[in-house]
Each structure stands twice: as C-alpha cells, then as structure tokens.
Amino acid sequence: MYTVYLFDFDYTLGDSTDAVVASVNYALTSMGYKERPRNEIRRTIGMTLPETFTRLTQNGEEAQRAMFRTLFMEKADQVMTAMTELLPDTVPVLTYLKDKGFTTGIVTTKCHYRIDEILGKFDISRLVDIIVGGDDVKNNKPHPEALLTAMDKLRATAGDIVYIGDSVIDAETARAAGVDFVAVTTGTTSRESFELYPKLAVIERLAQLIGGSVPFK
C-alpha cells in the first residue's frame, strides 16, 4: 500500500493556462517575436522555460533562452498566482488523502515559492506536506532528481510512493525515479500517449484516484 502521494501541479492539480499564455507572449514580444497561439503554448506547459522558448521559436541560443526566462518570470510574478485556479477534484482528493493519514506532496517545474503562494491563495497549505519545485533542484523533470529529493526528505522508499501527473514528462520522471505512476488526462496529453510508459492506470479525472478505479497494490 502506498503511503505517499506526490502530484505534478499544472493540469494535474491546477490550471494556470491564462497566466502562462500571458507570460510567454509578454516575453516573446519583448524579444521581438510574434505572439504564439494559446493552444500552442498550452502544449509546452510542464516543460522548463528554456525548453518552452526553444519549442516555440526553434532558437536554442542559451543567452536568448535565459532572457526569455527572465522576462517570463517578470510577468509571471505579476499574474501567475492571481490567474491560477485549482481543478475541481483537487481539494476533495487532497482532503481525503490527508484525512486517511497519507503523506502528500507536489513535485513540479514551477518555482517552490509560486506553489506556496497558490496554496496560500486557496488556504490549502495544510493539505500538502512537501513541495519540490524547479528551483529546488539542479536537474528538472524528466530527470528524477525532484522525485528523489522528495523521497529523501520524506525518508520514504520508492515502493512507498505513487506519482500522479498529466504528461509524458511526468511518466518519464516516475520511471527514472523507479516509482509507480498514475496518468491523468486533464492536460493536453492523450490517453494513447501514455501507452509506452509504465503506469498503474490512466484516469480521466483526479477523483478516480480514490474512487476504486486505480488498482493499487
């Protein structure tokens, strides 16, 4: 039986699409690029900011990638927390897990302080025991460092943990860390895209995690 439930954030627990789109297009236009369509930007959510820049512009120059990150963060500091919403199942699922005595956490490429702000905005900080953000590690997902960091801080073993996420990046991260994975299709990744990855289940909404649809050990 799992004792630790770790979650990705974007499109798993929350939706910050409007803020990400605004921040990406602010950074791009500040650098002389054209705005990119919402749906194109949505497909980059979960990537690191340098990866997002290269995906959208095909420009891999490190100085340009760094500038994009700086400009993105400048706008994000103004809008990200205010424009982020939780997905409908987030509070009920986290509440259920905490009431049952499980440990919960968030492992994400978003900055740690941003997750703190968002949890505080919705007054649910008490429902999350640990946060590992992109600024807490040297290597972002799909490198396993973030999951392994959470594991180490919680003094847990891989067998204690299940990781829940919405993207193949999350699936790759779980595989690299040697922890079990549940995919949820509340993001931009299709059910079929998870076929090549080890997983306990692919679910359509987070509530299925506690509703008997997932064949937990």
Whether residue 32 is found in the same domain as residue 68: yes
Q: Is there a domain that residue 113 lies in?
A: yes
Q: How confident is the model at residue 212 (pLDDT cuts 50, 70, 90)?
A: confident
Tell me the β-bridge partners of 4.
103, 161
Q: Give the pLDDT of residue 178.
A: 98
Predicted local confidence at residue 213, as pLDDT: 73
Q: Is residue 214 part of a domain?
A: no
Residue 171 sits in the same domain as residue 78: no
Which residue is listed with tokens 């905490």? 98
Residues forming a β-bridge with 164: 7, 182
Amino acid 95: pLDDT: 97
pLDDT value of position 146: 98
Task: Identify the bridge partners of residue 120 per DSSP, sorted by sequence position.
Answer: none
Distance CA 174, CA 198 (A): 9
pLDDT in tens, 100-141: 999 999 999 999 999 999 999 999 999 999 999 999 999 999
Q: Are residues 64 and 112 in the same domain?
A: no
Looking at the fold, whether 62 and 9 belong to one and the same domain comes out as no
Model confidence pLDDT, tens digit, residues 15-32: 999 999 999 999 999 999
Residue carrying the six token digits 């509340």: 186
| pLDDT given at position 215 | 73
DSSP per-residue codes, 121-143: HTT-GGG-SEEE-GGG-SS-TTS
Q: Which of 144, 171, 167 is nearest to 11 (CA)?
A: 167
Any domain includes 109: yes
Give the residue numbers spanning the domain of 161: 4-15+85-209
75 and 104 part of one domain = no
Domain boundary among 52, 82, 112: 82
Cβ distance 1 to 217 under 8 Å? yes
pLDDT at 103: 97
- My answer on whether 181 and 95 are in the same domain is yes
Two tokens at 213? 């649809």
Do the domain assignments include residue 49? yes
User: Do the strands 161-165 and 180-184 form a parallel or antiparallel pair, or are they unpaired?
Assistant: parallel
Average pLDDT over residues 146-155: 98
Q: Are residues 184 and 91 in the same domain?
A: yes
Whether 63 is covered by a domain: the verdict is yes
Task: Count the domains in the chain.
Answer: 2
Residues 195 and 90 in one domain: yes
| pLDDT number for residue 59 | 97
State the average pLDDT over residues 1-22. 97
Segment 49-106, tens digit of pLDDT: 999 999 999 999 999 999 999 999 999 999 999 999 999 999 999 999 999 999 999 9
131 lies in the same domain as 202 = yes
The enclosing domain of 70 has a CATH number of 1.10.150.240
Does residue 53 sit in the same domain as residue 107?
no
CATH of the domain at 141: 3.40.50.1000
pLDDT at 161: 97
- Distance CA(154)–CA(119), nearest Å, equals 20
Do 115 and 145 lie in one domain? The reply is yes
Tokens representing 157 are 């073993």
Tell whether 132 and 193 lie within a shared domain: yes
